Amino acid sequence: MSRLSPAALLIVGAFMVPLFIELPVVLSFVGVELSMTASLGIGVVAFTLVLIWSEISEKPEAADA
């Protein structure tokens, strides 16, 4: 049993988009250069991690929770 339903994943994913779109801008304020492609790449990795966290529950008893 996954921790997040498809709908919840959709919402979490949606909320991550503005964060990674604005990340290069925020970093540029402190002189760090990050390209948009790299930032969105990090976003994809972050979302994949959320997905893995959601699908793999460590405790087996959580499986039927």
Lay out the site mask for another protein across 36-55 (x = CB under 8 A, - = otherwise): xx------------------
**Which CB sits closer to another protein, 29 or 58?**
29
Q: Is 25 in the site for another protein (CB under 8 A)?
A: yes
Smallest CA-to-CA distance from 24 within 11, 46, 51, 43 is with 43
Shortest Å, Cβ 22 to another protein: 7
Task: Report CA-CA distances (Å) from 48 to 2, 25, 28, 38, 64.
Answer: 14, 23, 26, 15, 23
Q: Does 35 bind another protein (CB under 8 A)?
A: yes
